[in-house]
Amino acid sequence: MGRNFKKKVTPLLLTAPANFWLWAFFTIPLISILWLSLTTGNTLDGFTLTWNFGIYPDAVSQYSEQFGRSFLYGGISTALALIFMYPVAYWIAFRGGKYKAIFLFLLLLPFLVSFIIRILTWQFILADNGIVLSALKDIGLVSQNAHVLSTPFAVIAGLTYDNLPWMALPVYVALDGIKRDQIEAASDLYASGYQRFRTVILPLSAPGIYAGILLVGISSVGDFLSAQILGGPSTTMIGNIIQTQYVQNQNYPLASALSLVLMVALLAFVVLYGRFFGSKTLKEFAG
């Protein structure tokens, strides 16, 4: 057998199992919902393919509010996660000294608590007569009727907290990967620490920020559990709508169309964003 042939075939063989899995259980299902979205009908009479492209503008206009809200909540919680985590990751990477690993470990502790329990504890903490509010009410800082649960604030708080480790990890990896001599060179060039940060450290950590924003942003925008457990009458996110339409109303065309719109909106965001920061960086954070 020729070496050339082997060279061509080996990678195909190596990737075949993973490719199979990804196609069978990710790509094909995804394509099939495109088809499903273009059908019309109901559960009793069945759904027929009518190329009903009109469902897309309808779905978007009917649920524009929930789409907007998802991106708003997702955006805010991503920004907050970055604001919270960047300085911490920075401090650990540059000032952590020999305890770096321990600090990082402490930072990632929430990973070890189940996602659902993380949300539940916030329901606990923010409840009307929970730890925080009852204390504030006792000292008269807030009115007796004040509540946090069922408000956008609670949903955003839940989303933010849930995603903190996913922001911290890539940002830390990027910051930690910055070579010492690069900073030394910058120190020689720039007088102020701020300039050094802006011209050297920030750009060099951009891949980590990019990866963090992707990870956190996408999972926040598509989430429905935080809104379900912590939210109120006007905090419904698009994930909740998709879930309801799929599972409860069996409006498959609408649910599929909403899923695809969400997916495409996020992909567009990723692509545009990648233009500015380079799409390869998503892979780089993990190293």
Q: How far is the CB of 194 from other proteins (least distance, A)?
A: 7
**248 and 214 Cβ atoms separated by less than 8 Å:** no
Binding-site member from 105, 185, 189, 278 for other proteins (CB under 8 A): 105
Q: What are phi and psi of 42, to 5 degrees?
A: -145, 175
Q: Which of residues 191-250 bind other proteins (CB under 8 A)?
A: 191-194, 196-197, 201, 214, 218-219, 221-225, 229, 231-234, 236, 239-244, 246-250
Determine if 81 is a binding residue for other proteins (CB under 8 A).
Answer: no
> What x/- string results for residues 18 through 57 when contact with other proteins is judged by CB under 8 A?
xx-xxx-xxxxxx-xx-xx--x-xxxxxxxxx--------
Return the number of the residue (22 or 141) whose C-beta is nearest other proteins. Answer: 22
272 near other proteins, judged by CB under 8 A: no
Please name which of 226, 214, 197, 232 lies closest in space to residue 81, comparing C-alpha atoms.
214
The 10 Å Cβ neighbour count of residue 174 is 25
Smallest separation, CB 55 to other proteins (Å) = 14
Strands (DSSP E) contained in 183-276 are: none
- DSSP type of residue 178: S
**Residues 9, 12, 13, 14, Cα dihedral to 10°:** 120
The Cβ of residue 145 has, within 10 Å, a number of other Cβ atoms equal to 7
Among 1, 11, 275, 276, binds other proteins (CB under 8 A): 11
The DSSP symbol for 148 reads -
Nearest Cα to Cα of residue 229 among 68, 116, 112, 153: 116
Identity of the residue, 42 or 203, whose beta carbon is nearer to other proteins in the bound complex: 42
3-state secondary structure of 40: strand
Residue 170 as a binder of other proteins (CB under 8 A): the answer is: no
79 binds other proteins (CB under 8 A): no
Q: How many angstroms separate the CA atoms of 280 and 145, rounded?
A: 50
Region near other proteins per CB under 8 A, out of 6-14, 53-61, 135-143 = 6-14
277 in contact with other proteins (CB under 8 A): no
**Residues numbered 107-166 forming contacts with other proteins, rule: CB under 8 A:** 107, 109-118, 120-125, 127-131, 134, 145, 147, 149-150, 161, 164
